[in-house]
Structure formats: C-alpha cells, structure tokens
A = this chain, B = another copy of it.
C-alpha cells in the first residue's frame, strides 16, 4: 500500500537470514544502492537494524525489546503461565502454549521438561501447522469457509511417515478434533515425539489458545502420555475459566 514502507519492511526478513551488506540488500530489493542506504538508515535510527563492525547490517536490538513487550501484553499468556508451570511440576514433561494468528500458529509460552531429553522448540517460532496437536485445535475452530480455504493453501511436508499427507486428510482430522475437543500428534512431526493437547476457550466459547504436553518415546510411550489427557484438559479448562472471567481472579502474582 505504501511503497517506501513496503520496501523498508522487506529488508527485515531478508536480514533475518543473516547479515548482508548494502549491495546485497539493494539487489534483493531491486532498487538503487542509494535508495537502500536511505531505507537502512531509517531502520537503523529506529534500532531495528544494526551495523556490525564489518559494516554489514543485521537485525537490531530493539526488535527483541518490541517482541518482548508485545509478548507481555498478551494476557492469555499471563493468565496461563502459572497453570503451565503447575502442570509441568505434576507430569514433568514439556508444556507449550500456542495461538493462531494470520495463517500461522505460534508458541507463545513454554515450560521445559524436567527430563534431560528435551525437544527443540522456541517461543515465537511458527509451529508445524499441519501436524502439531495445538495447531489442529486452533484451526479446527475456524469458521468452515476459512478453515477450508486455509487447508487448501497449505503445504503438507512429510516430516515423518505419519505426517498429515494432504488437505483432505487434514480437514478430516480437524473434524475429529473439533468433535472430541482435544488433539494429539503421534510422531507426525518428529518420529519419536508425541503430544496431547487441549483447547483454551474465551467467554464466547471460541478457542483462543491451545496447550499441549510433549514427550519423547524414550521417556514415556504414547499410551502413557494419553493417560495425562484428563489432567491436560482440566488445566486448559481452568485457564479458560480464568480467562473468560468465570473464575474469580484470586491472587495474580504480578
């Protein structure tokens, strides 16, 4: 909509791939070097871009700070966190919290497993949307049309033999998930890792977030993990209650 801003913002994902010098940026933007320079300077003034000692540019510090502040303003996260910690204390496994936003599902909180073997994931990282248990829950709640459109648009990478292979299978899975009110991922993303997930709902009943417990095969079998389902659902419901205002907010530790 605004060409100048559009160009400037296109620099960010470009630099996310790694540091680049002026010429590279100009080339990949398809503009003159002088133009790229002025854009970079503006980004620099705002701290979004940093110029390292070898003169190349990379993403800057303010970006972290902004993401941080944005994160802290998400009240679901704030409400959910103590519950996630408690759940982690009870079962010992990795606990995740995720939301859907603009065709992506991303983790917004995580409490690490107490076992030495941990799975790789990072807060802020987009989730493998076609296989993750939390993603299924969040997408299953979208309006029919939107869900359908999104499913068609997605890629279906075969992470493992059990990954969701195509849109049709995915939509079917979503229907199941929608009906039963919980979801699993049994080795669909990484062969040896299983998850159980439950939805968190707002006052109007719509799914606003989803949480999951993940554990590798070497620690517990899929069956054992499934026995945690009632606990996960209870935790999710507790968060739902607090988020929608049904449960009185007793003592929220600031």
Contact = CB atoms under 8 A, between A and B. Distances in A.
Interface of A: 1-2, 4-6, 8-10, 12-13, 15-19, 38-39, 41-43, 45-48, 50, 58-71, 73, 101-102, 104, 106, 108, 122-126
A60 B71 CA distance: 10
Contact of A2 (B4, B62, B104): B4
Closest 5 CB pairs of A and B: A64-B124, A59-B70, A67-B67, A16-B69, A68-B124
A196 B173 CA distance: 53
Contacts of A60: 70, 101-102
Each complex incorporates copies of this chain amounting to: 2
Contacts of A2: 4, 8, 38-39, 41-42
A37 to B, nearest CB: 9
A65 B8 contact: no
Contacts of A63: 63, 66-67, 70
B9 A65 contact: no
Contact of A50 (B64, B101, B124): B101
Contact of A46 (B9, B39, B106): B9
A66 B101 contact: no
B124 A42 contact: no
A63 to B, nearest CB: 5
Q: Which of A38, A59, A67 has its CB near the most chain B CB atoms (within 10 A)?
A: A67
Given A38-B2, A42-B9, A60-B102, A125 B66 contact: no
Name the prevailing secondary structure of the A interface residues.
helix
A65 B18 CA distance: 14
Contacts of A67: 59, 63-64, 66-68, 124
The CB with the most chain B CB atoms within 10 A, among A15, A64, A69, A124, is that of A64
A59 B102 CA distance: 12
A47 B46 CA distance: 18
A1 B41 contact: yes
Contacts of A69: 16-17, 59
22 contacts: A1-B41, A2-B4, A4-B4, A4-B5, A5-B5, A5-B8, A9-B43, A9-B46, A9-B48, A12-B46, A15-B70, A50-B101, A58-B70, A59-B67, A60-B70, A60-B102, A61-B106, A63-B66, A63-B70, A64-B70, A68-B122, A68-B124
